[in-house]
A and B are shown apart, each in its own frame.
Chain A
Amino acid sequence: MRKSKQHIRKAGAILVSSVSLALVVSACGGGGGGGGSSASLSGLYGPSTSAACSGSPVRGGNLVYERQAATQTTDPLNPRNGNGDIFTYNVIYSGLVRSDPTGKTNKIVPSLADRWTVSPDGKTYTFHLRPGLKFSNGQPVTSEDVAWTLNRFGNPKINEIMSAVAIGFGHATAVDESTVSVQLAKPVAAFLYNISIWPAFVLPKNLVEKEGNAFYKHPVGTGPFMVKEFAKGSHITLVRNPYYWESGKPYLDSVRFNFVSDSNTRILALRAGDAQVMDVVPFSQVNSLRTDKNISVQAAKVPLFLGLWLNHQRAPLADLNVRKALQYAINRPLLNKQIFAGLGTIPNSVLMGFSMDAPDSVVKPYGYDVAKAKQLIAQSKFPHGFSTTLQYPGGTDFYKQLALALQQEFGAIGVHVKLVEQDTATVTNNWFTRKFDMVFPFASFTSDLTVPDEYADFIANWDNGFHGFETSWRNPTIQQQVIQFETTRSDSERAKQWAQIQQALMNQTPAIAVLHLPFINAHLPNVCGTNLDGLGSDHLEDTWLANSKAG
């Protein structure tokens, strides 16, 4: 009797799950749900606060983590798959400094270097290594390793992909056993941020020189974990680095990243308890997962945004009145609620959100004002409107709905948009070769740094060869402001300058930020210390399992 009841309950559960799965499958066509109330959304930010995590961290346990993007290489100078590679670099390697692992501040904090000094002219940095540092194979980390790593970072022939963050780098020298000095060609305000990310992660000189590319099959680093098994296309298994410098960490014995591109499969694995953490929760699924008591949803503020890129070689889009009209025509609160579960924020910038951004009271966002938009169109060189195209990447969670909504909103002010859905590769290629009118150029559009220097330079510094990050927009005044900003050392002075640049970019609106978005992960409630830093990267050295059997 009891058994048959169980069967009925089970059948019911299957039915309910089937219905929810049908919703998953149809998510691309359906609405994004009712949207969360903003009052409860703040609870999504920061690591898990479930009751299970109230005690002190427990050592041990194996974590299975379902990741959307696969790791394709462990070579930190040759990323092939964006965050799929970067998030693995971040746990097997480390640099001299790092951004606040808790993500609470935007500060640069010590990592392999426990202190450093800067010369008064801002061109010489002296780093002091922690005593007793070792690589994951037990060999000591020498100042020679560090200097060699930094000189590779600064060499655009070796650091080909990320040479933008090596801007102004001169050379590094091992001064003594535990001191490394770096000479810059000019003051670089973001220098510490630039060396806090993966291209500057310290590698053992002797092994890389001896083994060449074979080194990356069994890499050796200074991160909290080291590679045990790397099955390309399937998973990477990491185990505790016994020589990690933070004493007592990491807590976990091992971490396995499963590469699961399909979001339905990631969710199923989490619900089945096959995995304890998943990344990239689709916005259309956030509300359904939040109502599941056995799952914690976590959001992190990161420099991720919906960047609508405009081609200024097209006469209508070169017209400032038209660009401003487009800004006013977008009903951002509605888009946010309907498509992004209310998790986005309304930008007061044309770029991704940076913690340095001036608040709304200083730089105002564009409000939704159709009358004003129509008035601006009437004042433009195209008073009767015009026709244009909007390209966006297909096969993603939300771009189709977003593009349809924008088509309608722009149509209301006489801008007739033809939507062109392409695969991401084609869209990115068309953006790069400037074959577009309006485009969302990437499936996921993020900055590599938490400070605006990299992207401000991309879009405003015409001399970098990027053609205004392919917008063909050029403004010598703002370019000068950005170049000055990049070399100003005082933080308070930089904040002032950035507010001016932010406002100037908003006034000129070379591109449009539709919304700023967070990263959203989900995990089982017994996964504790799930810290994400300001770039959305997990700091798994802080992660622990409250009860490895619970689930």
Chain B
Amino acid sequence: MLSYLIRRLALAVVVLFGLLVATFFMIHLVPGDPVRIVLAGRANPAQIARVRHELALDRPMWDQFTLYISRTLQGHFGTSFTLDAPVGEIIGQRVGPSAALIGYGMLLSLLLGVPLAIVAALRPNGWLDNAIRVGTALTFAMPSFWLGLMLALIFGLELRWFPVAGYSGGIGGILRTLTLPALALGLALTTVVVRTLRSSLLEVLQSEYIEAARSRGLSELRVVGKHALRNSFMNTLTILSVNIGFLIGGTVVLEQVFQIPGVGSLLVEAVEKRDYQLVQALALLAGAAVVLASLAADIVQALLDPRVRLAGR
């Protein structure tokens, strides 16, 4: 188990370092820099040159890169020029709403997806199964900004159940302000949950121990809910952990539409302003979240399933 964990951790470090390098060069190779964007059109060229020098933006890219790597390895993420504040402080203020949105979206996708998958698996290829498949394919195909706007239009503007945009904290605030964006985020993921869970349920439902359970006269609900679901859920968990990247990507769009002060909308602002420090830190954060989620899923799976744990021996 320990050697498995060490191998997975080492891989995670390599992935994150690769991400660090890739993000640095991607954002630096795009034209524009934060000083020119903030000051151009007002300050004169000599002043802009002075500020760029202070921020080391006039040095060769390789110098900037080595400086960045050494600072990052020491845990210094620097100061955002465009927001005039330390990167850690800015991200700290904005990570909460995004985490709440992702968590809530995931929860909704499970609340919707699990019952639908069970219904579909119990009568495979029946009309209900087909309807669920078509319905979830439709929500999956809708662009999230459009789905978000539609939800805001119907439940915000017309029915007035929720505000059309904005964010407030606390359980009540989150329920009021994040339900629509979480639904927009969760509906796309519901498709993934339904598909994976349905197919593994179908497989499990054919197995001998399910037959045994049925022959003992247990109700279908109990057979599925207690015996089949537990054994089918592993795949779904893995898929969900892989989809954390998809969810983070979704927040970028939905936070703009619903005006949620999270890290997704922060990333958009940071890229627009070429705020190198902020973009790099946010990319690293998102990468770390994805790596950690998949690591956690692997560990859970290894704990639950000896075949995974022992495979490396």
Contacts and interface: CB of A to CB of B under 8 A. Distances in A.
Contacts of A235: 166
B157 interface: yes
B31 A233 contact: no
Contacts of B260: 234
B198 interface: no
B41 interface: yes
A234 B163 CA distance: 15
A234 B259 contact: yes
B84 A17 contact: no
Given A233-B265, A265-B257, A428-B32, A17 B153 contact: yes
B50 to A, nearest CB: 8
A422 B159 CA distance: 39
B82 A72 contact: yes
B156 A233 contact: no
A231 B94 CA distance: 10
A231 B165 contact: no
A74 to B, nearest CB: 10
B36 A265 contact: no
A455 to B, nearest CB: 10
B44 A164 contact: yes
B46 A21 contact: no
Given A13-B158, A258-B259, A271-B157, A163 B165 contact: no
B4 to A, nearest CB: 40
Contacts of A430: 31
B266 interface: yes
A176 B285 CA distance: 56
Contacts of A163: 43-44, 47
B164 A274 contact: yes
Given A161-B39, A162-B42, A465-B46, A18 B150 contact: yes
Nearest to B157: A272
Contact of A429 (B37, B258, B265): B37
A259 B265 CA distance: 11
A155 interface: no
A462 interface: no
A466 interface: yes
Given A73-B84, A75-B84, A264-B257, 6 more contacts: A72-B83, A161-B39, A261-B259, A262-B257, A269-B166, A422-B31
Interface of B: 30-33, 36-48, 50-51, 82-85, 90, 93-94, 146, 149-150, 152-154, 156-160, 163-167, 256-261, 265-266, 269, 272-274
20 contacts: A25-B149, A70-B269, A75-B84, A160-B50, A160-B51, A161-B39, A233-B93, A233-B265, A262-B257, A268-B152, A269-B166, A272-B157, A272-B160, A272-B164, A274-B164, A423-B272, A425-B273, A426-B30, A432-B36, A464-B44
Interface of A: 10, 13-14, 17-18, 21, 25, 70, 72-73, 75, 78, 80-81, 156, 160-164, 213, 231-235, 258-262, 264-265, 268-269, 271-272, 274, 422-426, 428-432, 441-442, 448, 464-467
